[in-house]
């Protein structure tokens, strides 16, 4: 259910990358923690698409 419905919906909603979302989701389900970068570089993302990437991360 997660891989067929939830992850694709999240990827579409937040403009996220499905592979990253799936990996992060699996880590959390397994009781792990996510690494958080100190700085998120959005300079390579077009201006109108930056916010979804920031919020997804």
What's the mean pLDDT when you consider all of the chain?
78
Tens-digit pLDDT profile for residues 8-19: 777 777 566 777
pTM comes to: 0.38
Tens-digit pLDDT profile for residues 36-50: 766 888 899 888 888
As for how many domains the chain has, the answer is 1
For residue 48, the model assigns a pLDDT of 84
Q: What domain range includes position 36?
A: 2-56
Q: Which residues, at least 6 apart from 49, have a Cβ–Cβ distance to it below 8 Å?
A: 15
Instruction: Please state, in angstroms and as integers, the Cα–Cα distance from residue 45 to each residue in 38, 40, 41, 50, 53, following that order.
Output: 18, 11, 9, 6, 9
């Amino acid at each position: 259910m997660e891989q067929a419905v939830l992850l694709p919906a999240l990827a579409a909603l937040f403009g996220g990358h499905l592979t990253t979302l799936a990996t992060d989701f699996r880590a959390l389900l397994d009781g792990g923690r996510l690494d958080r970068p100190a700085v998120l570089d959005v300079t390579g993302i077009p201006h109108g698409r930056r916010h979804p990437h920031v919020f997804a991360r």
